[in-house]
Chains A and B, each alone.
Chain A
Amino acid sequence: MKVGLFIPCYIDAIYPEAGIATLELLERFGVEIVYPLNQTCCGQPMANEGDQQHSAAAEQLFVNNFREFDYIVGPAGSCVKHVKYHLDAIPQDPDVLHVRERTYELVEFLHDILKVEAFPWAYFRYKVGLHNSCSSIRGLGIARSSEIMGTPFNKSAKLLQMVEGLELVPMDRPDECCGFGGTFCVTDEAVSASMGIDKVHDYLRHDAEFVVSPDMSCLMHQQGIARKAGIHLKFLHIAQVLNGGPF
């Protein structure tokens, strides 16, 4: 199994430790993993604005970088959701379709493809608030969203519960959007910030010490909110917890 590692641009520049943890974690499971050096962005920021014209080149580059792999794995729900469901600014040739079908978010890859059952190296003795991003839940289905009736499931929670010492805290609005929303967070700053503040206070009400998410972009926004408000919460990508670092 040859796996291409998709590291979104903001993880590359701001949260490299999330990328490092992802790579180390997959290598621990014996996955042959390659990071294509020419990757930039999947095109999501432009496509989310509705700007197909300017997302096309980024999308084509993404496909060129990853078409040779059996699987493409990225530690970012919203970027993976874009690739899987919205990478449509370019003609849908067989390479594009292959890439779209074979791209997985890290949690679903660990849970559905590798069928991981333990992280014996991981130890995390803290109270954790889990933030499954909207893209991960309602886009990729890594958890059943609260709107849908039926037996609940939550793949991120299931993986985190395998980590020794880790305690997941409940939340009042577990899958309410935190207000990041890509460019929304700047074009609709007031509403976005209000949503973020409410989200951060939900963690606080339940004594969370860490916030853990498969989507670092939401956490970038939440972390910014918490810091500005002088709230001491720590934010980590789920790969860092499952891999036991780097922190």
Chain B
Amino acid sequence: MEDDKKVDVAAQAAAFLAQDEVHEPMHDKNLWAARMKRDAAAREVPEWETLRQLASQIKEHTLTHLLQYLTEFEKNATSRGAKVYWARDAAEHNQHVWDILREKNISSVIKSKSMLQEECGMTAFLENRGITVTESDLGERIQQLDDQPPSHIVMPAIHKTREDVAQLFARNIGTDPANTDPHYLTEAMRNDARKRFLEAGAGMTGANFAIAETGSFVVCTNEGNADIGASVPPVHIASIGIEKLLPKVKDLGIFIRLLSRSALGTLATQYTSHFSGPRKGGELHIILTDNGRSKRLGMPEFWTSLKCIRCGACMNTCPVYRRSGGLAYGATYSGPIGIILDPTFDESKYSELPYHSSLCGSCTEVCPVKINISDQILQWRKVMAAKKYLPAARRLAFGTAGKIFEHPQLFRSAETMASGALKFTPNFLLYNRVLNPWGRHRELPHFAGQTFREWYLQYKAKNNEHGT
């Protein structure tokens, strides 16, 4: 079971920043570079903003006609020879996988990257039942060897340096710890993974898009690992979130053009693989999984978060995420999209996440499917405040501020106190000692000798004297 203790994201981000002088600057620089590449790639597409608009509309249409498209998908996928399962939640999803493996006596699985399987805690579930599960995406494999969840939805190990990876591989697959050459490390991992592909009884993938019209689905990767996983072992199991549906094949062009440009600034992923039924002699199992998505669809303020295509652009652009590292969020999804998705799984545990944002709004503007992420973050704060998830001290501080701002006379005396007796303290500004860490990295602002209001009264009096 997941630990349901409240995640203190601010403290964990502070620890990421404080660990050394290397990790955070590298993390910030690499992700900002991805954002810059995204800008350059988007600039080459004159109709970029139109594509975003279309993608948003197609997703909203599909989500508001989801039953129709899911039914259509199931029918078409089944007629192509796939076996389609429905999973209400993580437990049902994992049970389906386990049932399939058990029936075939499969003890080893090779999987490509899937945020849904991550959400479901599938790997731990299967490992507890004696199944060997191997991640085949390089970044995911790094994270698996380090016993960490992915810190980014597209670049799972982006918070690690080359040196970190060299050390990790040296411990686990016997590479030279002093050799940090990425080609050397990648080659070593490739050789280590190859035999696992050959041994695996089943290959598992997620899906980026599922097409109702054809009953097929699309997996986008840069390493081709999903393709080997789906092609070598006799059984292919695909976990697909019910929000991944698109009505028609022709819709796909819009999303393929947006996805990789937004994610990494490349024109498309190296592999865009269409799976249309089981290959000859093989089996294809598709698990359509809800796991909270229907509930989210029923939330008037938050349902459009289901439009997300998991490109990670909001994470790359987020100045707070870049300085926090994804693991600080203590959740499957981190960064701006995580802030608005995670509380739908557990409001209390993730109640601090919506405050881990400067509300700069960059996420909203970079999002290829136009999710109003920043507005939803603010909206989640309203939920957290209304449900009293805020620490009591903070609530009281704002209660006091609210009172002061309600009454002009109280406000004047608070100002006078601040600029007089407490001349160089920021208490007036910050309302309360609870909110006091201003000065750790900042000098305090100096209060002016005369407030604007005092100046204005003198100015008016003088003008009246002069008859103006």
Contacts and interface: CB of A to CB of B under 8 A. Distances in A.
Interface string B19-52: 0000010001000100000010011010011000
A58 B405 contact: yes
B443 A19 contact: no
A50 B357 CA distance: 13
Interface stretch (A38-46, A97-105, A160-168): A38-46
Nearest to A89: B382
Contact of B441 (A10, A48, A225): A225
Contacts of B436: 186
Identify whether the interface residues of A are mostly helix, strand, loop, or mixed.
Answer: helix
Interface in B391-440: 394-395, 398-399, 401-408, 411, 415, 418-419, 428-431, 435-438, 440
Contacts of B381: 48-50
Contacts of B283: none
B408 A38 contact: yes
B42 A186 contact: no
Contacts of A54: 398-399, 401-403
Contacts of B1: none
A45 B401 contact: yes
A53 B395 CA distance: 11
Nearest to A199: B319
A86 B378 contact: yes
B329 interface: no
Interface string A184-228: 111111111111111000000000000000000000110111011
Interface string B363-388: 01110000000100010111111100
A23 B405 contact: no
B359 A194 contact: no
A223 B378 contact: no
A93 B191 CA distance: 68
Given A39-B408, A188-B320, A13 B451 contact: yes
Contact of B359 (A13, A48, A57, A176): A48
B442 A196 contact: yes
B362 A177 contact: yes
B299 interface: no
A194 B408 contact: no
A96 interface: no
A7 interface: yes
Contacts of B407: 40
B234 interface: no
B18 interface: yes
The interface centre, meaning the residue of B356, B428, B438 with most chain A CB atoms within 10 A of its CB, is B438
A11 interface: yes
A170 interface: no
14 contacts: A13-B418, A13-B428, A37-B408, A40-B408, A41-B411, A45-B431, A51-B398, A54-B402, A54-B403, A61-B408, A134-B360, A138-B374, A189-B438, A223-B443
Interface of B: 10, 13-14, 17-18, 24, 28, 32, 39, 42-43, 45, 48-49, 317, 319-320, 323-324, 354-362, 364-366, 374, 378, 380-386, 390, 394-395, 398-399, 401-408, 411, 415, 418-419, 428-431, 435-438, 440-448, 450-457, 459
- In order of increasing CB-CB distance, the 4 nearest A-B pairs are A50-B381, A54-B402, A181-B358, A224-B442
